[in-house]
Amino acid sequence: MPNSQIEMVVMADDPGRWKVCGDFERPPDGRVDVYVVVRQGDVVARGHEVVSSRAWQFEVVPEGGELVAGSGQTAIASAVAIARQEDPSGLEAFTWAQRIPVLERRTDANPPVEFGAAVAADGQGTLAAGRSISSSLTVREPSGPEAGDGQLAWRHALEVH
């Protein structure tokens, strides 16, 4: 499945409505379910859409207040994309989290964030019937000595049950 990133959250044309915008690294082969959660302070916005093109955008609905847009305003976004694998018997899930700008409007001057080279950890195995695999990625605003401009703290856990 093509990797993706979220570019930004922007105000929609209707007051109080928001859109999340993203881009796949390459066009998906078929339809991909994309689920996004955006958090800015106590406000959480959620959305889901089935997409089949490289560039995507859809509405997210804020709960607990309104998002604050403007220069220097950011949020933490996390997403999961679920697609059919080329093998007709499988599904593939891809998750990611990142800091994104919260803007009043989208313009062509708002390019996607360029990520540096990826550091990959790869593994595979078999999963016996009656077992499950869970993966947890926690991303939060850091505090204490790890705090800094533009920093996020993260923790990852993978468990086979």
If you average pLDDT over each of 100-104, 116-120, 156-160, which comes out highest?
100-104
Q: Which two tokens stand for residue 75?
A: 């949020």
- Whose structure tokens read 């570019």? 7
- In this structure, what are the phi and psi dihedrals at residue 136, rounded to the nearest 5 degrees? -125, 130
Single-letter code of the amino acid located at 84: R
- Whose structure tokens read 């390459």? 26
Cα separation, 129 vs 131, in Å, equals 5
Interstrand relation of 18-24 and 74-84 (parallel, antiparallel or unpaired): unpaired
- The pLDDT tens digits of the residues spanning 82-114 come to 987 666 677 888 888 888 899 988 766 556 556
- In this structure, what are the phi and psi dihedrals at residue 21, rounded to the nearest 5 degrees? -120, 140
pLDDT at 1: 46
What confidence tier does 148 reach under pLDDT thresholds 50, 70, 90? confident
- The pLDDT tens digits of the residues spanning 27-78 come to 888 889 999 999 999 999 999 999 999 889 999 999 999 999 998 899 999 9
For the whole prediction, is pTM greater than 0.95? Answer: no
**Helix (H) / strand (E) containing 43:** strand 43-51
Q: Which two tokens stand for residue 55?
A: 């560039």
- Whose structure tokens read 């976004």? 77
